[in-house]
A and B are shown apart, each in its own frame.
Chain A
Amino acid sequence: MSTLLEVTDAHVSYGKVEAVRSVSLTVAENEIVTIIGANGAGKTTLLSAIMGVFPLKGRVAFLGEDLARYEIEDRVARGLCLVPEHRELFATMNVEDNLQLGAFRMSKAHAARGFEHVYTLFPKLKERRKQLAGTLSGGEQQMLAMGRALMGSPKMLMLDEPSLGLAPIIVAGIFEIVAKLREEGVSVLLVEQNAKAALQVADRAYVMELGEFVLSGKASEIATDQRVAASYLGFADAAAS
């Protein structure tokens, strides 16, 4: 498997506060990688900086190409796509328009195929296609945010807290889609507080604490690691026994 995304020695600062310190990570083709960690560990900052929303010190390479000189829009054009924590939908526009704009850089034929693909993955969106994005439920908004990102046919999708504020049954549905995307050849970098669900779907995982990676490895191994179990999975006793 060839490397898709490679981040080397990344630092991200807000003024004098260094929110991300010396982080390195890789994501290969057809791989689901998750970054888990507590609230405020710097996960969202890291994802945003990889996308180009904040300046990042260090090297970010996508498909072997250094991204430093590229703006957000150019990174999107190269196949890197972020579904942000706050979803950033076009609230006063309907579902169909939101999706259409997801394929802003694509041809009409491409957009048509994208609609078909997204409506197959999320039949709910097809039912709601004339409804304003701002009036959707939280789960539907998350589906729309993911659908909008998929309209641009990304090679890699970065999902920031897709389960935030959603009912467990909807979370399960979203993680099923994540697994399905990998089968379709889309790599996923998943940031989650819901460590249990994330580790079940991911191949590899990084554990982030106070801006640094403290642990990394296969998701199955991380899931059984005692420190992780104690801090993030909430069943320390079960893991110990």
Chain B
Amino acid sequence: MNTTILLFLLQDGITNGAIYALLGLALVLVFAVTRVILIPQGEFVTYGALTYASLAAGRMPGTAKLAVVIGLVAFAFDLYAMRKTLHAPKIARAFALHVAFPVVVLLASMWAADQRMPAGVSLVLSLLIVASIGLSLYRIVFQPLAHTSVLVLLIASVGVHLALQGLGLLFFGAEGQRGPTLLTASATLGSLRFTGQGMAVYGITVAFIIGLWLFFGLTLYGKALRATAVNRLGARLVGIRTTLSGQIAFLLASTIGALSGILIVPITTLYYDTGFLIGLKGFIAAIIGGLISYPLTAVAAIVVGIVEAFSSFYASNFKEVIVFTLLIPVLLLRSLAAPAVEEEKD
């Protein structure tokens, strides 16, 4: 193997790894705050990518309508829960979150689909559509189950994954799609060629990670989210609603998922079910991080990306097998290092 190939594979691996890092961080965040293992993360990737590709091609994505429909269901859930205490500001908040927000986004995307807007507008609209779906899903599926065990939440999570994947086939068809690149410029450094899209992946990933770090370290809501993850009862006793933390976690996770999808859809063709596999690779990184450590997850994601790049070069048939096999030694080590812990009871 010569250095050029080595560098090329490393570059490819780091690009993929950056995406897995984003997804892995979102999984760790959602698990820490809500105890949900977010299998549908991959669908957020697909929805983000294909919504972006559709909008850019001037087609109206079905996801925008889905956001309105499940938003209405979520609002109905909220109204039912509030039936004893009809409190105007709370109703207004639920209406704004679950009805007004997706409807405005739907109207904006109908308008944008006709106009052939620049890629940036499609990107923002796609993020908003998927964020709105994520928020309403939390309200409908996970908030009513918040007090149940991790296993029940996992089963619900698998159910949501299957439902969203089916809807994805309905909305986008079985054909693969590609989206326009965000940056067309490119530069060469030695034998390596840096495409604009590759730079956008690095830049946006790093900016997002720094943004998350600032959010958790400096803002009151970020700290409240960490507090819920560290001690749920303690957080409730100072008046932080578990629901609020869950909403923020799902909002972040769905946005991160959609963003990852938008970043890769100009590089690879995405199908309605591709997101699942991509999400699983983020999941491997999250598992290596023990579903608790953010830095370890980010590093593990880069390793997963690099291993994937090398195995697709040397043994492309076994690419996925090799990547998922990474889990076995990690799980073995973890089970040897840590004593069996009983599931948290609360």
Contact = CB atoms under 8 A, between A and B. Distances in A.
A89 B231 contact: yes
Given A93-B223, A101-B224, A88 B85 contact: no
* Interface size grouping (class) on chain B: 10 to 19
Nearest to B230: A90
Nearest to B244: A73
B234 A88 contact: yes
B70 to A, nearest CB: 25
A91 B230 CA distance: 7
B227 A101 contact: yes
Contacts of A101: 220, 223-224, 227, 235, 238, 240
A37 interface: no
B233 interface: yes
A100 B220 contact: yes
A152 B239 CA distance: 9
Contacts of B240: 73, 101, 104
B230 A76 contact: no
A82 B223 contact: no
Interface in A42-94: 51, 53, 69, 71-73, 76-77, 81-82, 84, 87-93
Given A90-B227, A100-B220, A101-B227, A72 B236 contact: yes
A88 B227 contact: no
A77 B244 CA distance: 15
B234 A90 contact: yes
Interface residues of A, number: 28
A140 B251 CA distance: 36
Interface string B237-276: 1111100000000000000000000000000000000000
B13 to A, nearest CB: 32
A84 B238 CA distance: 12
A105 interface: yes
A102 B238 contact: yes
Nearest to A83: B237
B84 interface: yes
Contacts of A51: 237
Q: Chain B: interface secondary structure?
A: helix
| Residue picked from B224, B230, B241, most chain A C-beta under 10 Å | B230
B230 A104 contact: no
B59 interface: no
Contacts of B226: 90, 92-93
A195 to B, nearest CB: 26
A76 B239 contact: yes
Contact of A69 (B84, B220, B227, B237): B84
Contacts of A76: 236-239
A88 B233 contact: yes
B225 to A, nearest CB: 11
B289 to A, nearest CB: 15
Contact of B236 (A73, A149, A152): A73
A104 B220 contact: yes
Contact of A104 (B84, B224, B231): B224
Given A76-B236, A102-B238, A104-B238, 16 more contacts: A51-B237, A53-B233, A73-B236, A73-B240, A76-B237, A77-B239, A84-B233, A87-B234, A90-B227, A91-B231, A92-B226, A92-B230, A93-B230, A101-B235, A104-B220, A104-B239
Interface of A: 51, 53, 69, 71-73, 76-77, 81-82, 84, 87-93, 97, 100-102, 104-105, 148-149, 151-152
The 10 closest A-B pairs by CB, nearest first: A88-B234, A76-B239, A105-B239, A72-B236, A90-B230, A90-B227, A73-B239, A73-B241, A88-B233, A102-B238
19 contacts: A53-B233, A69-B84, A71-B236, A71-B241, A73-B236, A73-B241, A76-B236, A76-B238, A81-B237, A82-B237, A88-B231, A88-B233, A89-B234, A90-B235, A91-B231, A93-B226, A101-B238, A104-B238, A104-B239
